[in-house]
Amino acid sequence: MEKSRPLWDNPLQFVFACISYAVGLGNVWRFPYLCQTYGGGGFLIPYIIMLIVEGMPLLYLELAVGQHMRQGSIGAWKIISPYLSGVGIASVVVSFFLSMYYNVINAWAFWYLFNSFQDPLPWANCPLNSNHTGYDEECAKTSSTQYFWYRKTLNISPSIDENGSIQWEQAVCLILAWLLVYLCILRGTESTGKVVYITASLPYVVLIIYLIRGLTLHGSVNGLIYMFTPKGSVSHSLALQLEQLANPKTWINAATQIFFSLGLGFGSLIAFASYNKPNNNCERHAIIVSLINSSTSIFASIVTFSIYGFKATFNYENCISKVILLLTNAFDLEEGAITADNLNSMKDYLTSVYPNEYAELLPQIKNCSLEAELDTAVQGTGLAFILYSEAIKNMEVPQLYSVLYFIMLLTLGIGSMLGNITAIITPLTDSKFLSTHLPKEAISGIVCFINCIIGLVFTTKAGNYWFNIFNDYAATLSLLLIVLVETIAVCYIYGLRRFEDDLHLMLGHKPNWYWKIMWAFASPVLIISLFIFYLTDYIHTGTLQYQAWDATQGQQVTKDYPSYALAVIGLLVAASTMCIPLGALITFVMKRLKRNVSTLE
Amino acid sequence: MLEILLLAFSLATIAHAELCSPGAQNAIKVRYTWDASEEYLFKAMVAFAMRRYSNKATTQISNVLLCCMTERVSFWFVVTDSSKNVTTVPGSEVEAAIRMNRNRINSAFLLTDHTLEFLKISTTLSPPVESTVPVWLVVFSVVLCLVIAGIFLLIVSGIRQRRKNNNDSAEYGDLEDQCGTQVTTENGIPCDILDLKSGHINGVYTADDERFTPL
């Protein structure tokens, strides 16, 4: 009796799993930044074009491959061609690297979540220095939220060379994060299928709550206006926005964002689709998932920018009141003589009437600018942990919003982790060798355990620098290569006609001419151009640099990577990309050996 | 919100008639929006603070002199000592007295350390409330226990299910050995068992001797 492959209970679980995997932290912290940098509203045009040309076809391709072959990535590509087993292995290696560092983000989210249950929030105020006469020195130079992130959470060292010890608080949060992931994938699709209901829907609930809260905050409109104006323009005229379209970087970033946001090439989509019933309509699901992923990005950026606007306006108004107070005190004016409206005219008046005193005061008077506050736009962990926590601490009932927000980050992160881990475990459980000797729970447990132990590196004092190395280099180039090989393999090695027939068998109709053109020409061309662009970019920039936190100055400084860090980067890229030719080579050699053996007999 | 600024002590010598003047010795500057009644209250509070501090009930409201009021509501004040004619109480004493009773003075005016400033008397920052067990550790432990309990439950139920499956298939295996070659099987399950497990025997094939085609 052959053991049947576990299946999703219903197609909805599959769609939710894909959504929860694709909709991740990148939608929240990368897209808003890109949107603002490359022209706001205008950025949507290349984004949507790339979605249609690149995102949907490649997603459909991966889902179809997984659903038809009913195997994880290694098995699926072996079926397509025995020389392509390297592609599957490369996917597993990249997924392995990703899961190593990605769960650290969940650990940080847990840390912030657990710290949200107190009044006042720990990142709301600077701690006092040792003799209680003032605030802690480092905190006074920077803001309390940055201090909490760099000192209390990461306890970051000044450079990547100084390794420091493991921060036990982060380590236990990481262990908890891995235990939670293990709990979710323990029983395979049985448990994962239930969990994705929550991880797919909860972020939307929180985003809607934040949308309502964000739009009703004072100053949120400033943020929204800022989002739709390209950087450096004074007015949001259409011409200026469209000017950004001529910039090739806009298109490249749109393509990259679509590509990585959907999570192509990791093998997770193939793994998820392999648990489908053979007649599942993966074409419709591909379109649904990619559309939901993109609209979530746009939705999240509206929320993010209204929160931005609130924070910037709050800081700007604080700055203005400080200046007003300073002037009022220095010149003994009546309370209310200087207001925000007449500040500039009062400044001119004071300069003329008391030139000497005003000149003395000048270094202390800051030039408050709303633009400057909004320009502190950031992406990545800086946005998620520093900026949002700063905005939250100024809201009413900050504990509630803080808890909601970090639960949302957690569900987004866990959802993506489920996909990554499934990509690693599915090929392992598919292999006859491992599944006969070990039960599924043990395999998942061992994978989680190994990842957890290696992940402890990221909880050391220099851990964040290694995290950034992995974040920037572990997946980028390799994925482009993997997906390129995938597309070429399906279209030209396996044969587009054969693939068409398989789809006809599964779905009941042949794919449109549109899909075929995208698979055969448009997507490979696009990926090759992205690949060339990134390679030339890497070569041009020469030495790679990173941002280190300088505690004495209270800000980030740029430093060069030491040689061993560069070696690690090279290893990361090589480890996954080399699998593809190596796999082909080994298969070739083994076939040769077998032929020799059989001819000898 | 009323802003009050504090003025520094000044240690310049003063003449009798100018006991209270800006920068006078032992004079402190204060700012506030203000009328005569508020002024009276302020004098009373300072006198109260001096009495509390030095424990002698000799300081009167008339001992507190205010001067140089500006429209910003900032002024200087000194405290005279009526026992020693015409001299002002040392600035350090006044400072200490006010520092001790700062809270009371603030509350009298419904202001805070920020809004009622005594220049030169810096606010002492209150240390944050430290609980014995950090809050995050409590929440962490709760979540950790829940997750471990969940894992344990799932693993145990998985093992139990697998053991049940093994036992069932072992049963079928035993029966086969006992009954020898006469037992007919359908997909590895003996037909008798299949029958018991609500399997349906297809009537077409029940002719015993024709069940197996002879080799």
Q: How confident is the model at residue A543 (pLDDT cuts 50, 70, 90)?
A: confident
**What whole-number distance in Å separates Cα of residue A475 and Cα of residue A480?**
9
**What whole-number distance in Å separates Cα of residue A444 and Cα of residue A426?**
10
- What is the predicted pLDDT for the residue at B17? 38
As a whole number, mean pLDDT of residues A395-401 equals 92
**What whole-number distance in Å separates Cα of residue A160 and Cα of residue A525?**
38
Q: Which residues in chain A are contacts of B30 at CB distance < 8 A?
A: none
- What is the predicted pLDDT for the residue at B16? 31
Task: Determine contact: B74 vs chain A, CB below 8 A.
Answer: yes
- What is the predicted pLDDT for the residue at A488? 92
Query: DSSP alpha helices (H): ranges in A162-188?
Result: 168-185
**What whole-number distance in Å separates Cα of residue A194 and Cα of residue A17?**
9
Buried b / exposed e along A395-413 (16+ C-beta atoms within 10 A): beebeebbbbbbbbbbbbb
Q: How confident is the model at residue A295 (pLDDT cuts 50, 70, 90)?
A: very high
Task: Determine contact: B2 vs chain A, CB below 8 A.
Answer: yes
- Cα A317 to chain centroid distance, Å, stands at 32
Residue contact B3–A334, C-beta within 8 A: no
**What whole-number distance in Å separates Cα of residue A186 and Cα of residue A181?**
8
H or E, element range at B185:
strand B185-186
Residue contact A186–B151, C-beta within 8 A: yes
- pLDDT for A455 beyond 80: yes
**What whole-number distance in Å separates Cα of residue A588 and Cα of residue A117?**
59
**For residue B25, what is the DSSP state?**
B
Residue A453 or residue B175, greater confidence: A453
As a whole number, mean pLDDT of residues A39-68 equals 90
As a whole number, mean pLDDT of residues A541-549 equals 83
Condensed to tens digits (0 to 9), the pLDDT of residues B122-160 reads 666 666 666 778 889 999 999 999 999 999 999 999 889
**What whole-number distance in Å separates Cα of residue A15 and Cα of residue A67?**
13
Rounded to a whole number of angstroms, the distance from the CA of A295 to the nearest CA of chain B is 33
Positive or negative: CA dihedral A208, A212, A213, A214 = positive
Q: How far is CA B145 from CA A109, A400, B141, in A?
A: 18, 23, 6
Dihedral angle at the C-alpha atoms of A349, A353, A356, A359, nearest 10 degrees?
Answer: 0
Dihedral angle at the C-alpha atoms of B38, B44, B48, B51, nearest 10 degrees?
Answer: 150
Beginning with the edge strand found earlier in the chain, give each strand of the sheet holding B75-79 in spatial order: B28-30, B75-79, B64-67
A563 burial class (0-12, 13-18, 19+ CB within 10 angstroms)?
exposed
- Cα A35 to chain centroid distance, Å, stands at 15
**For residue B10, what is the DSSP state?**
B
Show the tokens assigned to A595: 């032929």
**What whole-number distance in Å separates Cα of residue B129 and Cα of residue A156?**
25
Cβ contacts of A424 within 8 Å, gap of 6 or more: A92, A95, A96, A99, A267, A447
Residue A103 or residue A38, greater confidence: A103
Compare CB distances from A329 to B5, B124, B137 and report the shortest one's residue.
Answer: B5
As a whole number, mean pLDDT of residues A423-447 equals 89
Q: Which residues in chain B are contacts of A441 at CB distance < 8 A?
A: 155, 158
Rounded to a whole number of angstroms, the distance from the CA of A206 to the nearest CA of chain B is 20
3-state secondary structure of A214: helix
Determine if the pTM surpasses 0.90: no
Candidate from A65-74, A136-145, A437-446 with smallest mean pLDDT: A136-145
C-beta atoms surrounding B62 within 10 Å = 10
- What is the predicted pLDDT for the residue at A518? 92
Q: Which residues in chain A are contacts of B136 at CB distance < 8 A?
A: 111, 114-115, 117, 169
Average pLDDT of chain A is 88
- Rg of chain B in Å (alpha carbons): 47
**What whole-number distance in Å separates Cα of residue B71 and Cα of residue A335?**
8
Percent of chain A with pLDDT over 90: 46
Asked if A380 and A34 count as a contact pair (C-beta separation under 8 A), the reply is no
Q: Which residues in chain A are contacts of B172 at CB distance < 8 A?
A: none
- pLDDT for A486 beyond 70: yes
Compare CB distances from A441 to B124, B148, B158 and report the shortest one's residue.
Answer: B158
Shortest CA distance from B137: residue in chain A:
A114
- What is the predicted pLDDT for the residue at A483? 92
Condensed to tens digits (0 to 9), the pLDDT of residues A109-138 reads 999 999 999 888 999 888 888 777 778 888
Asked if A49 and A553 count as a contact pair (C-beta separation under 8 A), the reply is no
Q: Which residues in chain B are contacts of A333 at CB distance < 8 A?
A: 71-72
**What whole-number distance in Å separates Cα of residue A470 and Cα of residue B63?**
72
Locus of tokens 């007919």: B184
Locus of tokens 């209204």: A306
- Reference A328, options A318, A338, A317; nearest CA is A338
Q: How confident is the model at residue B4 (pLDDT cuts 50, 70, 90)?
A: very low
Q: How confident is the model at residue A366 (pLDDT cuts 50, 70, 90)?
A: confident
Q: Which residues in chain B are contacts of A182 at CB distance < 8 A?
A: 151
As a whole number, mean pLDDT of residues A435-441 equals 85
Q: How far is CA A600 from CA A266, A587, A589, A590, A594, in A?
A: 41, 20, 16, 15, 10
Task: Determine contact: A1 vs chain B, CB below 8 A.
Answer: yes
Highest mean pLDDT pick, A324-328, A518-522, B60-64 = A518-522
- What is the predicted pLDDT for the residue at A286? 94
- What is the predicted pLDDT for the residue at A490? 92
As a whole number, mean pLDDT of residues A165-176 equals 94
Candidate from A38-42, A155-159, A533-537 with smallest mean pLDDT: A38-42
Task: Determine contact: A442 vs chain B, CB below 8 A.
Answer: no
N-to-C CA span, chain A? 35
Q: Predicted ipTM? A: 0.85
C-beta atoms surrounding A270 within 10 Å = 32
- Reference A51, options A259, A315, A333, A206; nearest CA is A259
Pick from A176, A323, A402 the residue to mutate for testing the B interface (most B CBs within 10 Å): A176
As a whole number, mean pLDDT of residues A522-533 equals 90
Shortest CA distance from B119: residue in chain A:
A329
As a whole number, mean pLDDT of residues B79-103 equals 77
- pLDDT for A431 beyond 90: no
- Reference A409, options A439, A388, A378, A394; nearest CA is A388
Compare CB distances from B188 to A1, A117, A183 and report the shortest one's residue.
Answer: A1
Q: Which residues in chain B are contacts of A118 at CB distance < 8 A?
A: 135
Asked if A129 and A506 count as a contact pair (C-beta separation under 8 A), the reply is no
**What whole-number distance in Å separates Cα of residue A262 and Cα of residue A164?**
36
Residue B147 or residue B94, greater confidence: B147
- Measured CA angle at B135 (ends B133, B141), to 5 deg: 85
As a whole number, mean pLDDT of residues A361-373 equals 82
As a whole number, mean pLDDT of residues B5-12 equals 33
Average pLDDT of chain B is 70
Backbone angles phi, psi at B80, to 5 degrees: -90, 160
Show the tokens assigned to A57: 């076809």
Candidate from A184-198, B24-38, B51-65, B192-206 with smallest mean pLDDT: B192-206
Shortest CA distance from B32: residue in chain A:
A335
- pLDDT for A468 beyond 50: yes
C-beta atoms surrounding A590 within 10 Å = 11
Asked if A68 and A498 count as a contact pair (C-beta separation under 8 A), the reply is no
- pLDDT for A360 beyond 90: no
- Reference B186, options B171, B202, B174; nearest CA is B202
As a whole number, mean pLDDT of residues A258-266 equals 90
Asked if B195 and B201 count as a contact pair (C-beta separation under 8 A), the reply is yes
Compare CB distances from B73 to A132, A134, A335 and report the shortest one's residue.
Answer: A335
Residue A390's identity, in one-letter code, is E
3-state secondary structure of A128: strand
- What is the predicted pLDDT for the residue at B2? 40
Helix H, strand E, coil C: the string for A404-424 is HHHHHHHHHHHHHHHHHHHHH
Backbone angles phi, psi at A6, to 5 degrees: -65, 145
Pick from B140, B161, B163 the residue to mutate for testing the A interface (most A CBs within 10 Å): B140
- What is the predicted pLDDT for the residue at A2? 42
